Amino acid sequence: MWVVTTRTHALTRRPPAPSSEVGAPVDARPGSAGEHALQCAYGSTERADRFYADQVRDRLLPAMVEFVGRMEMVFVATADGHGECDASLRAGPPGFVHVLDDRTLAYPEYRGNGVHASLGNIAENAHVGLLMVDFVRDRIGLHVNGTARIVEDAEFRREHPGVPVDPARGRRAERWVVVDVEEAYVHCRKHVPQMEVVTRRRAWGTDDPGRKGGDYFAAKGTPARVPRTRRPRRRFPTTTHLGGTPSRTLRPLRRA
């Protein structure tokens, strides 16, 4: 059976504001209320609307499916029920992220450090953002946003027997994150750096601290927490509040 994720505290997007015109459909523009407010404030609404219309889709298109199938890494963004964020990296051989259909993909969770930061966030708040980037060939990226659930490996394989088992030691999935796609769109290539693939032996499954990176940043032995020196901080007006306080509407950009 599916592992049930707790969504009591899940952060959800505010529903679109209804049109001021009686009987007109609600605003169906993609994106959040915060996006729309800043587009208005910074004068980019027209450009944003072109991007929404041309690029943002509610499913994976065939070219996106091909792109996902050759990716060796994915950046995963999650947040807990209070909005505290975490960004992490998942990597594997090409195709380790599996497209189950045009509205569903899944990636494996291998044995890690046992913290389960990303999975813990998903257990509180199912919303996730994935970013896959081709740094080598096309220098372009793909965003996939949606809601996730955690599925144990045995149950996942009963549901999807066609997904192959990775033979590499240490690269056997313990569980899977299954993502229901809500948005998929391109990430501009303008600032994506060019990289090259090099042959390097990977120590999959090792617990050797040196090979895993271990104490690379020399954190071991230092205090976990140090009291902060309180400094006067300038307060900036905010446009959104994760605690549920009504957002403050920005004034429209003044035009000459």
Question: What is the tens place of the pLDDT at every residue in 137-154?
Answer: 888 899 999 999 999 999
Rounded to an integer, what distance in angstroms lies between the CA atom of residue 169 and that of residue 172?
Answer: 7
pLDDT of residue 252: 47
pLDDT in tens, 185-200: 998 877 877 878 777 6
Q: Return averaged pLDDT per consecutive 10 residues of the chain, 256 residues in all.
A: 38 37 54 94 95 95 96 96 95 93 96 92 97 88 96 96 86 94 89 77 63 74 85 59 40 44
Contact 94, 133 (CB under 8 A): no
CATH number of 60-193: 2.30.110.10
pLDDT in tens, 23-37: 434 457 899 999 999
Residue 203, pLDDT score: 63
Element (DSSP H or E) covering residue 100: strand 98-101
146, amino acid identity: G
Instruction: Please state the domain extents for the chain.
Output: 30-56, 60-193
CA-nearest of 47, 57, 149, 135 to 106 is: 149
